[in-house]
Chain A
Amino acid sequence: GQSLEQPSEVTAVEGAIVQINCTYQTSGFYGLSWYQQHDGGAPTFLSYNALDGLEETGRFSSFLSRSDSYGYLLLQELQMKDSASYFCARREAAGNKLTFGGGTRVLVKP
Chain B
Amino acid sequence: EAGVTQFPSHSVIEKGQTVTLRCDPISGHDNLYWYRRVMGKEIKFLLHFVKESKQDESGMPNNRFLAERTGGTYSTLKVQPAELEDSGVYFCASSHLGQDLNTEAFFGQGTRLTVV
Contacts between chains A and B (CB distance < 8 A), count: 61
Nearest CB in chain A to that of B106: its residue:
A45
B55 with A95: CB separation less than 8 A: yes
B101 at the interface (CB under 8 A from A): yes
B25 at the interface (CB under 8 A from A): no
A36-54 interface with B by 8 A CB criterion: 40-45, 48, 50
Contacts of B110 in A (CB 8 A): 42
Interface size of B by CB at 8 A reads: 28
B66 at the interface (CB under 8 A from A): no
Nearest CB in chain A to that of B108: its residue:
A42
Interface residues of B (CB under 8 A from A): 3-4, 31, 33, 35, 41-45, 48, 50, 55-56, 91, 93, 95, 98-99, 101, 103-110
